[in-house]
Amino acid sequence: MINNQKDSLFIKAAFSEPTERPPVWMMRQAGRFMKEYWEIKNKYSFLEMCKTPEIAADVTMLPVDLLGIDAAILFSDILVTGEAMGGDLSFNQGVGPRFANPVRTKADVENLATGVNDRLQYVADAIKVIQQRLQGSIPLIGFAGAPFTVMSYLVEGGSSKDFKLTKLMLHNEPELAHQLLSKIAAVTTDYLNLQIEAGVNALQIFDSWAMALSWDDYNEFSHRYIQQIIAGLNRKDIPVISFCKGSSVFAPLMAEAKPDVVSIDWNVDLLDMKRRLPAGIAVQGNLDPHILYADKKVIKERIYRLFDRMKGENGFIFNLGHGIMPDIPFDNVKYAIEVIKEYK
């Protein structure tokens, strides 16, 4: 089924065209803050959920049905590219993602596979099922991790506080780091093109841990590869969103990679940042997700403050500066979305 969304709020805002109100979706909108998520999660492992198209579609549809957001995001994870390249990936409660065979030496890097779209076919299958479920109601966002962020998990073997081993590779063995990043970038380009072919309406690239890098290192080890990926997409009318934590610093450089939208963290005034970006680049953001823990009165005030500031601007997509935390009350998320849709 072809889900043509060019007249939807979300796609119009992503291309900086006028809309009657700003569209809303939230990173991690299909996740642990929902009891309906746990009803599924209690029966399957996280990777089983990602790899079974019907289940991935069920989870993708939870916020569509329960929250009324303006875009759905594919239920998957940024680390599936690392797994397809040969990473031994697992997710355990309380531990988070883990690669049992970390990538630390030249031999490790050389052993990683490229040309692995056949191992990611389950994602294409999930996209097709989701589009059947959406029936053209709202657009579907596909996604992938940016090379630096995926590299950090492969090198560290999991989550990290300081990215010590990853940064050591960048600094002591830059050629090896570039070899690894090039391989991830090639796999990511193929993977996003697979998602386009399967029918996504937009794409987001997640560089969650970019804020660990200095400006020069971000430029050399992250930005360059995101630019390469975006240039390699068979995008037609598919907008690309570039997300990182650290965007309050890096956004002007992120814009040079030619995304349609830059997703902004909560450290900066969104309108000031939009004005620093080239005309025609939309912004997505940028409520501090912690606001969703606060009283409803505060939630409304802070949403109004942001919307008053962005009033009259084309190219504004509401989102959080980062994902919803698992213990944020569902009611508060639902309330925030109602407030946003009713804002005048």
Give the interface with ligand CP3 as residue ranges (CB under 6 A). Answer: 27-32, 41, 46, 73, 75, 77-79, 91, 93, 96-97, 143, 159, 206, 208, 323
The answer to whether 75 and 50 are in contact (CB under 8 A) is: yes
In the complex, the smallest distance separating the C-beta of residue 259 from ligand CP3, rounded to whole angstroms, is: 16
In the complex, the smallest distance separating the C-beta of residue 19 from ligand CP3, rounded to whole angstroms, is: 22
CA dist 317 → 17, 150, 313 (Å): 11, 26, 10
Chain residue whose CB lies nearest ligand CP3: 208
In the complex, the smallest distance separating the C-beta of residue 303 from ligand CP3, rounded to whole angstroms, is: 20
Q: Closer CB to ligand CP3, residue 72 or residue 169?
A: 72
In the complex, the smallest distance separating the C-beta of residue 26 from ligand CP3, rounded to whole angstroms, is: 8
Q: Closer CB to ligand CP3, residue 30 or residue 127?
A: 30
Q: Closer CB to ligand CP3, residue 91 or residue 343?
A: 91
In the complex, the smallest distance separating the C-beta of residue 62 from ligand CP3, rounded to whole angstroms, is: 9
State the DSSP code for 104.
Answer: -
- CA-to-CA distance for 209 and 311, rounded, in angstroms? 31
The answer to whether 320 and 24 are in contact (CB under 8 A) is: no
In the complex, the smallest distance separating the C-beta of residue 305 from ligand CP3, rounded to whole angstroms, is: 24
Give helix then strand counts, H and E, for the chain: 16, 9
Instruction: Please report how the helices 296-310 and 330-342 are oriented relative to each other, as an axis angle in degrees rounded to 10.
Output: 40
The helix or strand, by DSSP H or E, that contains position 183, with its residue range, turns out to be helix 174-198
Q: Closer CB to ligand CP3, residue 23 or residue 323?
A: 323
- CA-to-CA distance for 122 and 128, rounded, in angstroms? 10
Q: Which residues pair with 134 in a beta bridge?
A: none
Q: Closer CB to ligand CP3, residue 75 or residue 218?
A: 75
- CA-to-CA distance for 167 and 103, rounded, in angstroms? 13
Q: Closer CB to ligand CP3, residue 82 or residue 315?
A: 82
Backbone angles phi, psi at 104, to 5 degrees: -125, -25
